[in-house]
Amino acid sequence: MAGRFEGRVAMVTGAGSGIGRATALALAREGARLLLFDRSAVGLAGTATQCPHAEAVTGDVTKAEDLEAAAAACAARFGPADLLVTAAGILGPALPPELLEEAEWNQLFDVNVKGTWLTIRAMLPQLREAGRSAIVTFASTAGLAGSATLPAYSASKGAVVMLTRSLALVHAAEGIRVNAVCPGSIETPMLEATFASAGDELAQAARQAAFRARHPMQRFGQADEVAETVLFLLSDAAAFITGVALPVDGGRLA
Ligand SMILES: NC(=O)c1ccc[n+]([C@@H]2O[C@H](COP(=O)([O-])OP(=O)(O)OC[C@H]3O[C@@H](n4cnc5c(N)ncnc54)[C@H](O)[C@@H]3O)[C@@H](O)[C@H]2O)c1
């Protein structure tokens, strides 16, 4: 499968860690040139050094001006992007919504929902210009089923699912496909943070065991396994697929 993305230009947000990084590295291995975007300069540098043709732009997906700068940097270095992956996201506190501060709720929706919209909006002129384009957004199994542990996060990822499906309809006729991946629990720094926030060691172990048990395969997923699904949805093998929210979850939602 080497070289599936030769000649293609991809922007990946959240490229400084976890699944975004794994997706960027997989695209680079298959020949894509990359605009890497993340709020963490250190994380971005760690990814960029492993990609032969990459431009790294540090910025915040909640800021339209940062995304416009990234879009301009991409076009200047590589020409218009025809692939977009919006992996930047946050988990927020694992609390019932009644205990959340308003600022915490706003931040969660700003990053996960508004950030996805702003990123797509900034890149749309390039995706349109390229003609044959694909977007993969990041929802979650928590965007398809409710979550007692992370209810506000679940609501934000549900919004990403419906944004994705709606944009698939809006852009289908112009050749821009829009799909979402819905990972189950994947071993990344984000998942580690969920466990760490459970409390003492016993509580952390209990949350870890409970999360693992939700997956019929009785294990957590790996970032590379989600990245492979993202590459499939971006690729011509998925040419007639748009508007899906695809679980990558070891059978959790089966
Ligand atoms: N790990 C899981 O179990 C899991 C499950 C379901 C969905 N997801 C989703 O997958 C995506 C990637 O998650 P991950 O596990 O790799 O997390 P991660 O924390 O390892 O990586 C997320 C990256 O997004 C970046 N980021 C966060 N806020 C940003 C902002 N405002 N602007 C720019 N960059 C920002 C972070 O700096 C980080 O590099 C997220 O959208 C997450 O919600 C993860």
CATH code (residue 167): 3.40.50.720
Asked whether residue 188 is domain-assigned, the answer is no
**For residue 2, what pLDDT is reported?**
61
Tell me, yes or no, whether 211 lies in a domain. no
Residue recorded with tokens 């020949």? 31
Which pLDDT belongs to residue 1?
46
89 Cβ inside 6 Å of ligand 1 = yes
Which residue shows structure tokens 């209990």? Answer: 206
| Residue 166 belongs to domain spanning | 9-183+222-247
- Residue 153 falls in the annotated catalytic set: yes
Exposure b/e, 199-238, CB count within 10 A at least 16 = b: eeeeebeebbeebeeebeeeebbebebbbebbbbbbbeeb
Ligand 1 contacts CB of residue 14 (under 6 A):
yes
3-state secondary structure of 124: helix
Q: Which atom of ligand 1 is nearest to the CA of 86?
A: 41
Asked if the structure places residue 126 within a domain, the reply is yes
Mutate to test the pocket of ligand 1, among 190, 224, 225 (most ligand atoms within 8 A of CB): 190
85 close to 62: Cβ distance less than 8 angstroms: no
In-domain check, residue 100: yes
Is 212 part of a structural domain of the chain? no
Residue 43 lies in a domain: yes
- 1 alpha carbon to ligand 1 midpoint, in Å? 27
Tally of domains within the chain: 1
pLDDT by residue for the chain (254 residues), tens digit each? 469 999 999 999 999 999 999 999 999 999 999 999 999 999 999 999 999 999 999 999 999 999 999 999 999 999 999 999 999 999 999 888 899 999 999 999 999 999 999 999 999 999 999 988 999 999 999 999 999 989 999 999 999 999 999 999 999 999 999 999 999 999 999 999 999 989 999 999 999 999 999 999 999 999 999 999 999 999 999 999 999 999 999 999 99
Task: Kindly state whether residue 2 falls inside one of the protein's structural domains.
Answer: no
Using CA atoms, how far apart are residues 3 and 166, in angstroms rounded to an integer? 31
Give me the catalytic one of 37, 78, 138, 153. 153
Residue 176 alpha carbon to ligand 1 centre in Å: 24
Distance from the alpha carbon of residue 115 to the mean position of ligand 1, in angstroms: 12
Specify if 226 maps to a domain. yes
pLDDT given for residue 97 in this prediction: 86
User: Is the separation of the CB atoms in 44 and 89 below 8 Å?
Assistant: no
